[in-house]
Amino acid sequence: MAVKVWKDIFLPREGRFLQYLVRQAEVTVEGIDLLWAFVSEHPNGAVRDTMIERMSALEKDGDAIRKRIIQELLQTFVTPIDREDIYALSKSVDDILDYADSTVKELVVYHVEPTEAMVDMVRILRGAVVSLRRAIERMVAQPSGSIREMVATKKAENRIEDIYRRANAELFDMTDMNHIFKVREVYRHLSNAADRADEAADIIGSIVIKGNI
């Protein structure tokens, strides 16, 4: 019964918030897919430059959607989800894409070749953001499905953090401090992206629980 009430109050005007959040998540999935191609295919020359440009374009698209969400929040008196939750969820999803963009740029600027740990972290991150997108899509109409996807995102974050800790430990067994600090910075961005996915999952869980009380 609670789910039906949620759907009833999700009026066409306010329904745009869910559409914006889903689209923002879709753009983030595209960004992580591009990051995956970047670290797994080792592109060079024009192909690499095209990927960098595409990532920057996606990051701008994500920012534009977030700006639209904020504008709508300021103009809408009643929202189908707590406005604080909409704002926080949008920010966490936006941060994931920002960190993906930073990862690509730092790999290039620092002249760092993707390590096996980086490839593993990005591969798992891809699954995390796909689950996150599904969780957002199902928040209202399929809350139980949303929770399953939310849990999958959080499990992925735990796996990434395990890889992150092991990779850092192995890194400090090396002697080239210049290399260590560069690679560590890239690891940090990937870890932060995973943290933001975990935050977004928690916000989704809170939204679903509030909608079913």
* 107-127 residue pLDDT tens: 999 999 999 999 999 999 999
Whole-model pTM: value is: 0.90
Task: Give counts: helices (H), strands (E), the chain.
Answer: 7, 0
Answer yes or no: are the C-beta atoms of 149 and 135 closer than 8 Å.
Answer: yes
Residue 125 belongs to domain with CATH number: 1.20.58.220
**Domain housing 46:** 2-211
Enumerate residues 6+ apart whose C-beta is below 8 A from 53.
none
Helix (H) or strand (E) run with residue 47 in it: helix 45-75
For the stretch 6-20, pLDDT in tens is 444 444 455 788 899
State how many domains the chain has: 1
Residue 3's pLDDT band, with cuts at 50, 70 and 90, is very low
Distances (CA, A) of 137 to 9, 85, 142: 17, 15, 8
